[in-house]
């Protein structure tokens, strides 16, 4: 005899349905946990980059603005950076050449990589040479002389006047989900970072070797003797360190002091604490008491 409050057969959840409901709940909570762990790992990578002054490598990640699988979006992100870099080559080298002339120096030749439109530039301006260089070199300026040591440093740093504008475009592109803006800014930003093995290293050499020359003159020790002794190793390391610091500090200054950049680039979320991760993991395995 059926009692009044007894559920109907349709209302009785089968064991299979309960198991399926629990499986779905488990999958949802497990995916939430994996996403939390991924975010924490991403933050660890960012902290590693930041500790070495490589905020730019974090800022250059805008793969979420592309469509498709995660792998496809990351490949497109890299290709977009390379394409944008090609657009900065000519103004970069012209700023080097112009700064040297303005500071009293002379240029022996200006070269643009054939891979980045050197032939077209040479056709437009025959005074600019074209060479086939490796893809990581956009071109170069070979000065015949510098006007002064400060002039040589200014010549090396002149192209990085583009960095504030580039960082602003990249920041606003990410903030407004504008792919063209992000791509437009990324070329000069990657150029700024890669300059640690080029322009910034040369600036470090000029600064360190000029200081060594001053010390050498006081000790009646020529700069040639510095280069021929074991002292060339600490001098070389010092040049790299100075170049690295100039690169990282100038980028950090642009990132943190140009209005509108810092807020757009800084991650809004905070690192997940271990207790939150433990609670999430417990929730994953939390059983359904209705089962």
CA 184/CA 169 separation, integer angstroms: 7
* Tens of pLDDT, residues 215-255: 777 777 666 666 567 777 888 899 999 999 999 999 988 88
CA atoms within 13 A on the CB side of 158: 21
Q: What is the pLDDT of residue 254?
A: 86
Percent residues over pLDDT 70 in the chain:
70
pLDDT for res 290? 40
pLDDT at 51 (0 to 100): 63
pLDDT at position 233: 85
- pLDDT, tens digit (0-9, with 9 covering 90-100), for 66-111: 998 888 998 999 999 988 998 899 999 999 999 999 999 999 999 9
Q: How high is the pLDDT of residue 271?
A: 46
The C-alpha atoms of residue 71 and residue 233 are separated, in whole angstroms, by 41
**pLDDT reported for residue 72:** 92
Rounded average pLDDT per 10-residue block, the chain, 291 residues: 54 64 71 63 62 77 88 91 91 94 94 92 93 89 92 93 91 90 92 90 90 77 65 87 92 80 57 46 46 39
């Amino acid at each position: 005899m059926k009692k009044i409050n007894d559920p109907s057969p349709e209302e009785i959840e089968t064991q299979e349905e309960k198991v399926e409901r629990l499986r779905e709940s488990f999958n949802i909570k497990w995916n939430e946990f994996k996403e939390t762990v991924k975010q924490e790992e991403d933050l660890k990578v960012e902290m590693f980059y930041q500790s070495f002054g490589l905020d730019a490598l974090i800022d250059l990640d805008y793969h979420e603005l592309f469509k498709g699988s995660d792998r496809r979006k990351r490949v497109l992100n890299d290709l977009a950076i390379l394409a944008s870099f090609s657009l900065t080559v000519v103004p970069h080298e012209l700023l080097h050449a112009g700064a040297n002339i303005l500071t009293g120096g002379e240029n022996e030749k200006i070269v643009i990589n054939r891979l980045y439109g050197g032939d077209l530039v040479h056709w437009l301006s025959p005074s600019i040479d074209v060479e086939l260089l490796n893809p990581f070199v956009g071109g170069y300026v070979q000065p015949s002389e510098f006007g002064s040591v400060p002039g040589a440093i200014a010549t090396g740093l002149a192209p990085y006047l583009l960095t504030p504008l580039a960082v602003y475009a990249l920041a606003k592109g990410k903030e407004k989900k504008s792919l063209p803006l992000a791509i437009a800014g990324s070329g000069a930003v990657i150029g700024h970072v890669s300059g640690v093995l080029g322009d910034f290293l040369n600036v470090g050499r000029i600064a360190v070797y000029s200081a060594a020359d001053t010390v050498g003159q006081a000790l009646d020790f020529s700069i040639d003797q510095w280069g021929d002794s074991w002292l060339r190793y600490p001098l070389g390391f010092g040049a790299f360190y100075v170049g690295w610091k100039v690169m990282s500090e100038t980028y950090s200054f642009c990132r943190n002091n140009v209005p509108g950049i810092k807020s757009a680039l800084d991650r809004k979320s905070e690192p997940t604490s271990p207790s939150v991760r433990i609670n999430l993991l417990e929730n994953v395995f939390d059983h359904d008491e209705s089962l």
